[in-house]
Amino acid sequence: MAQTITTKTPLNVLRMATGRYLDTGTVAAYAFECGFKPRYVEVINLAATSCSFKWIEGMADASAWKIYSVTTESTLVTSNGITPSANGFTLGLDTDVNVTSQQISWVALG
C-alpha cells in the first residue's frame, strides 16, 4: 500500500535564506535558489559604490528600491532589479549592484 504525505508550510512560518556571490566573469543577470518563493529580498554590494536593492512582495518583476549608501539617495528602478521565482529570485544586470569582481550579499524571506 502506497502512502502519500502532504506537507504544507503555514502562512505564519518565516523561511529565510542568505548568501554571497562574487562574479569573476562577465556580469549577467544571475538566478539565486533559496528553496521557496521570496516575499522580501535585499541585495547589497559593499564595494566602493555601496549600493543595495530591496524588493518586497507586490512590487513588479525586475523592479527594486535602489539605495546609495554613500550619497543617501534612493530611487525606484523598474528594470534590471529583482524578479522572484518559485524557488528563489533573479538579480538583474544593474551596473551599480551587480558588478564584475565585486561581492554581493543577499537575504531572502518567504
pTM, two decimals, is 0.85
Q: What is the pLDDT of residues 6-46, one digit of tens each?
A: 556 676 788 999 999 987 777 678 899 999 999 999 999 98
Distance, in Å, from the CA atom of 44 to the CA atom of 3, rounded to the nearest integer, reads 45
For residue 14, give the amino acid letter: L
Task: Spell out the domain ranges in the chain.
Answer: 16-91
